[in-house]
Amino acid sequence: MERVALVTGGDRGIGRAISLALAKRGYSVAINYRKNEDKAEETKKMIDEIGGRAITIKFDVSKRDEVREGVKRIMDEFGRIDVLINNAGILGKHSKFDEIDDNEWDEVLDTNLKGAFIVTQEVTKYMKNGKIVNIASIAGRNGGTVGVHYAASKAGLIGLTFALASQLAPNILVNGVAPGPVDTGLLSEEKKKELSKLTPLGRVAKPDEIAHAVIFLLENDYLNGTIIDINGGRYMH
């Protein structure tokens, strides 16, 4: 039986690694993107080359109407959604507390937290049995280094994970991953060195290592309301 996964922000970085990992395990993948169609098509091509099945689908996770239409398109194409990966997220332009204005705060919270809420609501209208994995961050655990708006959004996503795990069980299991810094091509070499020094393993994570943790959560049927901290020992609890 065909299994179908929706990966928001699946066009590059962690989302691309997760999309590929799912395709390798037989999932048909809906690769969501907001702006970068070329990157989404690259990811689709990579899946095509390994014999998988994928579609690209454009919508802004923070816009209810776009999400509703996008989810409907996935249902029209595949007839089901078994897995949802809430991965779409942005950092924001500023990291200093006193430089963040209302618009930037709203944009980060709308994408990182409200977006996951909206997509989950729309997907679970069709998902009777399935699994959801939310991609949070070490910033949601310890405040991070990239801004209070980002930290607040990811802490909220962890709380949302716990609440959904309680309300959607036993038919839908909800878990999360909280990565430390990941080498997605967005970090400068200087920034990677700086963050590596803060990590006991002496390096940042590879996208494939985050995808591996996601697959683990999907393959275990007794994990619910769990957040996997994958940060090389930078945050321990």
In the numeric block, the tokens 């996935």 are attached to 74
Q: Strand locations in the chain, DSSP E?
A: 3-7, 27-33, 54-58, 83-86, 130-135, 172-179, 227-230
CA distance 177 to 138: 9
Examine the residue annotation and report whether 126 is marked as an active-site residue of this protein. Answer: no
Domain hosting 151: range is 3-230
Secondary structure of the chain: what % helix, strand, coil (to 5)? 45, 15, 35
Does some domain include residue 87? Answer: yes
CATH at residue 12: 3.40.50.720
Does some domain include residue 209? Answer: yes
Instruction: Find the catalytic residue in 33, 150, 222, 235.
Output: 150
Does some domain include residue 237? Answer: no
* pLDDT (0 to 100) of residue 201: 92
Does some domain include residue 192? Answer: yes
Does some domain include residue 236? Answer: no
* pLDDT (0 to 100) of residue 191: 80
Mean pLDDT by 10 residues, the chain (237 residues): 94 97 98 96 98 98 98 98 97 92 97 98 97 97 92 98 98 97 83 87 94 98 98 89
- Which DSSP state fits 202? S
Does some domain include residue 184? Answer: yes
CA distance 225 to 103: 32
Q: Rounded to whole angstroms, what are the CA distances from 43 to 29, 68, 161?
A: 10, 23, 27
Does some domain include residue 81? Answer: yes
**How many domains does the chain contain in total?**
1
Does some domain include residue 235? Answer: no
